[in-house]
Amino acid sequence: MNRIHNVLCSSGWWSRTVRSELLPWGLEGVELGDEVLEVGPGFGATTKVLAGRTEKLSVVELDEGYVRRLRSELPESVSVTEGDATDLPYPDGRFSAVVCFTMLHHIPTRELQDRAFAEVARVLAPEGTFAGTDSLGAGWLFKLIHVGDTLNLVDPGGLPARLKSAGLSDPEVDLGGRSLRFRARKRA
C-alpha cells in the first residue's frame, strides 16, 4: 500500500469505523465457529475486533512488514503467518470460517482473486463460511489513496458466480454505501 493508504489504515478513525460499522455490517448473521482465518489483515484493525469474537484466530498476511507489526501488536493467542491468499499454507478443511475485509481489490488480477477464492474453499471445513467486505471504489478520494497501489475492484454482480466456480455454495452479495459484503458456504 502507498503512504496515504498506510496513514488511513493505521488511523484511529479507521479503527473506530471497523469496530462500529464495517465488521458489524460485514458479519451480520454470520456464525464464525471456533477456528477462524482472516486473510490479508494489513494493519490489523479488523483482527483486533475479531480476536474477541472467536475461540481461535489465525491470520495470513503477504507483506512482511505488516506481519512483524501484527506479531508485535496482537495477543499471542492470534497466530500470524506470512503467506499468500492464492496459496494458503494450511491443510484442507481446517477452518470453520474464513473472512477478509477491504482487501480483495488489492489482489492484482481477476485470475488471482479466483485462485484466492478456490484456496478459501479448500481450507474451509464442510459447511464453513466465507464472509467479508470490499470497496466498490466510488469517489475520487478512494482512487487517490490507491495511486501507485494495486486497485482491482470486484464486480458485485459477477461475484456470486465466481464464488460458486470456486466450490462455494449459497453466495450472497449485498451493497451498502461504498462497500459490498459477501458470504458463501462450503458444500458438505
Position 40, amino acid: G
Q: What is the pLDDT of residues 135-173, one digit of tens each?
A: 998 777 677 677 777 888 999 999 999 999 999 999 999
Q: What is the pLDDT of residues 69-106, one digit of tens each?
A: 999 999 999 999 999 999 999 999 999 999 999 999 99
Q: What is the rounded CA–CA span in Å between residue 28 and residue 44?
A: 20
The answer to whether 120 touches 169, Cβ cutoff 8 Å, is no
Q: What is the rounded CA–CA span in Å between residue 140 and residue 159?
A: 24
Q: What is the pLDDT of residues 114-137, one digit of tens each?
A: 999 999 999 999 999 999 999 998
DSSP per position, 38-106: EE--TT-HHHHHHTTT-SEEEEEES-HHHHHHHHHHS-TTEEEEE-BTTB-SS-TT-EEEEEEES-GGG
Q: What CATH number is associated with residue 30?
A: 3.40.50.150
Tell me the residue range of the domain where 97 lies.
3-186
179-186/168-176 β-pairing: antiparallel
Strand partners, 101: 133
Q: 81: burial class by Cβ within 10 Å (0-12, 13-18, 19+)?
A: middle
For residue 165, the Cα-to-chain-centroid distance in whole angstroms is: 19
Q: Name the strand (E) or helix (H) holding 30.
A: none
Q: 148: burial class by Cβ within 10 Å (0-12, 13-18, 19+)?
A: exposed
Total of domains in the chain: 1
